[in-house]
């Protein structure tokens, strides 16, 4: 009898080794190598073949001879979800949804399942973490009962595939990928081998049958989706549900999307009846803004196709340490250090002995150069103890020589500010031409950071 071969696989990154090692050479994590049996090789193991024999396999053909089929997307009736997915659910796609425990992943997918089923789309919701009664209790609370919503409590991939073959649903929800398993793989559910093989099985089902499949993925302490990095490469889209567990707002962000933009975000509010859409996120982020406070300024960011106005706060105070602290929440702290160096070198602000704390109100995370001028103004406002005007909004990228560079889609940013009642916009001089300024709004172009500070703060003392 042949002896079963074993290998050691890292549970963090999937690195494989014939012997055990205390430290993984791939991700440098300690004590993550676990012994697993090597699966027996399967002959004819392909991804998306539809024929049975070798002769029936597809042959390469010229790309110009391929008939493209524009299959319509399935609307979710949730504008925020449609925005993040790129217009709706693509049939045959495999989508991975990740997020912290208790953030609302299961609620979002169950709510999505209920809405789709009420639109006469057959949906199969597979729960590996809850019983059928527990799932129905949550569906009753969300008022999502429908005959087209099928619920299955199963963790065996082959059984799930058999039910999919029998029911032929339009959409399948798997909650979660870390709970399902294959008998052929000897390791425990949630291991690298199980997650990889189960995801490959669901990918084959989605591509061959044209069924959209959503997978829920757990996250690690570092915030990354648990399992091998290969998992994110296998799926068509990766969505992260962000937000604090003790706050009501949730942000759905696409970090990978083969069928749409990765810059889109969807904003929801967690209520008793589930997640509700936030129609005007700018108003939400600004509703608790303090008037006449030093270090506070409103900036206009663009997330995908949506302009979003948020409040940027800065607190600058003398340091009690040998090295001043630089802390940032919602923006890149390296960018904050760069802007502070520009303020000290080009404007003359003595910040080398000052602690600086930057925060984007509302918990949203932003990462675009158009925020630079807002960071500079808020830091200077806090340092000089000069409050900004409540009707000002600033937009612009800051260069190392102190110049203010132009940004994209300036007209949409300014129009969004006008809708919310702002009366003055400070923008780069380069963006002053080529578009029509709003009639009831003052638009001021600046070429340097010093000019922007003179306009917003009305002075140049240091």
What's the whole-number mean pLDDT along residues 4-28? 83
Distance CA 223, CA 240 (A): 10
What's the whole-number mean pLDDT along residues 352-379? 92
Q: What is the pLDDT of residue 3?
A: 59
238 plus 298 within the same structural domain = no
Distance CA 210, CA 213 (A): 9
Percent of the chain surpassing pLDDT 70: 90
What's the whole-number mean pLDDT along residues 283-312? 88
115 plus 152 within the same structural domain = yes
324 plus 415 within the same structural domain = yes
- pLDDT for residue 296 is more than 70: yes
Q: Is residue 67 part of a domain?
A: no
Q: Is residue 47 part of a domain?
A: no
445 plus 378 within the same structural domain = yes
Total-model pTM: 0.76
- pLDDT for residue 275 is more than 70: yes
Distance CA 164, CA 152 (A): 10
- pLDDT for residue 365 is more than 90: no
378 plus 434 within the same structural domain = yes
Among 236, 257, 278, identify where a domain stops.
278
Total number of domains in the chain: 3
378 plus 406 within the same structural domain = yes
Task: Please report which confidence band the pLDDT of residue 52 belongs to, taking 50, 70 and 90 as the band edges.
Answer: very low
Q: Are 10 and 21 spatial neighbours (Cβ–Cβ below 8 Å)?
A: no
Q: What is the pLDDT of residue 228?
A: 60
Highest mean pLDDT among 13-22, 161-170, 229-238: 161-170
Q: Is residue 43 part of a domain?
A: no
Record the tokens describing residue 46, joined without a space: 């392909």
Task: Please report which confidence band the pLDDT of residue 4 belongs to, taking 50, 70 and 90 as the band edges.
Answer: low
Task: Please report which confidence band the pLDDT of residue 249 belongs to, taking 50, 70 and 90 as the band edges.
Answer: confident
Q: Is residue 440 part of a domain?
A: yes
Q: At what angle do helices 105-118 and 132-142 cross, to 10 degrees?
A: 70
92 plus 173 within the same structural domain = yes
Bond into 136 cis (ω within 30): no
Q: What is the pLDDT of residue 184?
A: 83
Residue reference for tokens 């709003």? 438
Residue 446 forms beta bridges with which residues? 428
Q: Are 201 and 211 spatial neighbours (Cβ–Cβ below 8 Å)?
A: no
Q: What is the pLDDT of residue 321?
A: 84
Q: What is the pLDDT of residue 81?
A: 93
Q: Is residue 65 part of a domain?
A: no
- Torsional class of 17: left (φ above 0), alpha (ψ -120 to 50), beta (otherwise): beta
242 plus 388 within the same structural domain = no
303 plus 418 within the same structural domain = yes
Q: Is residue 307 part of a domain?
A: yes
What's the whole-number mean pLDDT along residues 426-438? 94
Task: Please report which confidence band the pLDDT of residue 72 belongs to, taking 50, 70 and 90 as the band edges.
Answer: confident
Q: Is residue 314 part of a domain?
A: yes
Q: What is the pLDDT of residue 57?
A: 62
What's the whole-number mean pLDDT along residues 327-344? 94
- pLDDT for residue 48 is more than 60: no
292 plus 391 within the same structural domain = yes
What's the whole-number mean pLDDT along residues 277-293? 84
Task: Please report which confidence band the pLDDT of residue 214 belongs to, taking 50, 70 and 90 as the band edges.
Answer: very high
CA distance readout (Å), 441 to 158, 361, 425, 451: 62, 25, 8, 19
Q: What is the pLDDT of residue 462?
A: 40
303 plus 446 within the same structural domain = yes
- pLDDT for residue 318 is more than 80: yes
Each residue's pLDDT tens digit, 366-393: 889 999 999 999 999 999 999 999 999 9
Among 278, 293, 316, identify where a domain stops.
278
Q: What is the pLDDT of residue 260?
A: 87
Q: Between 50 and 126, whose confidence is greater?
A: 126
Q: Is residue 46 part of a domain?
A: no
380 plus 405 within the same structural domain = yes
Each residue's pLDDT tens digit, 25-40: 888 888 888 877 776 6
Q: Which helix (H) or strand (E) holds 439?
A: none
Task: Please report which confidence band the pLDDT of residue 244 belongs to, taking 50, 70 and 90 as the band edges.
Answer: low
Q: Between 448 and 53, whose confidence is greater?
A: 448
Comparing 41-55, 196-210, 296-310, which segment has the lowest mean pLDDT? 41-55
Domain with 98 in it: 75-278
Q: What is the pLDDT of residue 451?
A: 96
Looking up residue 271, the CATH number of its domain turns out to be 3.40.50.300
- Look at residue 226 and give its three-state secondary structure: coil
Is the four-CA dihedral 393, 399, 405, 407 of positive or negative sign?
Answer: negative
């Amino acid at each position: 009898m042949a002896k079963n071969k074993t290998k050691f696989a890292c549970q963090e990154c999937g690195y494989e080794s014939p012997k055990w090692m205390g430290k993984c050479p791939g991700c440098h994590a300690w004590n993550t190598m676990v012994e697993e049996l090597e699966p027996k090789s399967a002959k004819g193991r392909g991804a998306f073949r539809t024929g049975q024999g070798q002769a029936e396999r597809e042959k390469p053909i010229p790309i110009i001879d391929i008939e493209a089929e524009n299959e319509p997307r399935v609307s979710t009736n949730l504008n925020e979800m449609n925005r993040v997915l790129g217009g709706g659910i693509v049939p045959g796609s495999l989508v991975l949804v990740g997020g912290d425990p208790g953030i609302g992943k299961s609620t979002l997918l169950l709510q999505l399942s209920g809405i789709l089923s009420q639109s006469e789309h057959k949906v199969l919701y597979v729960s590996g973490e809850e019983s059928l009664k527990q799932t129905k209790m949550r569906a009753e609370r969300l008022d999502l009962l429908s005959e087209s919503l099928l619920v299955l409590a199963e963790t065996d991939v082959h059984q799930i595939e058999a039910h999919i073959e029998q029911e032929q649903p339009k959409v399948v929800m798997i909650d979660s990928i870390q709970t399902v398993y294959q008998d052929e793989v000897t390791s425990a559910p949630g291991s690298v081998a199980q997650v990889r093989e189960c995801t490959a099985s669901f990918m084959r089902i989605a591509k061959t049958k044209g069924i959209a499949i959503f997978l829920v993925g757990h996250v690690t302490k570092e915030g990354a989706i648990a399992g091998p990095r290969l998992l994110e490469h296998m799926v068509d889209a990766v969505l992260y549900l962000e937000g604090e567990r003790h706050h009501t707002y949730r942000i759905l962000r696409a970090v990978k999307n083969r069928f749409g933009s990765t810059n889109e975000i969807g904003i929801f509010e967690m209520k008793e009846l589930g997640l509700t859409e936030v129609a005007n996120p700018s108003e939400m982020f600004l509703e608790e803004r303090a008037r006449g406070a030093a270090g506070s300024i409103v900036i206009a960011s663009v997330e995908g196709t949506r302009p979003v106005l948020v409040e940027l706060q800065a607190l600058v105070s003398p340091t009690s340490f040998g090295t001043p602290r630089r802390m940032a929440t919602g923006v890149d702290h390296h960018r904050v250090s760069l802007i502070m160096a520009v303020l000290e070198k080009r404007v003359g602000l003595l910040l080398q002995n000052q602690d600086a704390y930057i925060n984007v109100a509302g918990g949203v995370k932003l990462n675009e150069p158009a925020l630079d001028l807002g960071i500079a103004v808020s830091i200077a406002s806090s340092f000089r103890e000069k409050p900004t005007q409540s009707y000002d909004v600033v937009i612009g990228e800051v260069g190392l020589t102190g110049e203010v560079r132009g940004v994209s889609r300036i007209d949409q940013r300014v129009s969004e500010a006008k809708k919310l009642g702002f009366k003055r916009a400070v923008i780069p001089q380069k963006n002053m031409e080529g578009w029509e300024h709003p009639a009831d709004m003052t638009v001021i172009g600046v070429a340097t950071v010093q000019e922007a500070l003179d306009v917003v703060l009305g002075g140049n003392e240091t």
